[in-house]
Amino acid sequence: MIALIEENMEAIVELCERFEVRRLALFGSAATGTFDPATSDLYVRAGSTYARCTVTGSCMKAL
């Protein structure tokens, strides 16, 4: 698991609980171990919704 996720696990769990997310998936470079905080985005899936999130925290929802 990448450091960015490990360092923010408590906040991630809190968000999932608040929005009743039962399953959260991380994919792309963050899941394969080639994540670079300077150039990579985080790709997550919660239920049937995908989102692309930047390291700075902004997210774009994509269906």
* Overall domain count for the chain: 1
Question: Would the pLDDT of 39 be above 60?
Answer: yes
Distance of CA 5 to the CA centre of its chain: 8
Let me know: does 43 contact 50? Beta carbons within 8 Å: yes
Domain residue limits at 7: 3-62
> 22: pLDDT confidence band, cut at 50, 70 and 90?
confident
CB contact at 8 A, 47 and 53: no
pLDDT at residue 49, as a whole number: 64
pLDDT of 62 > 50? The answer is: no
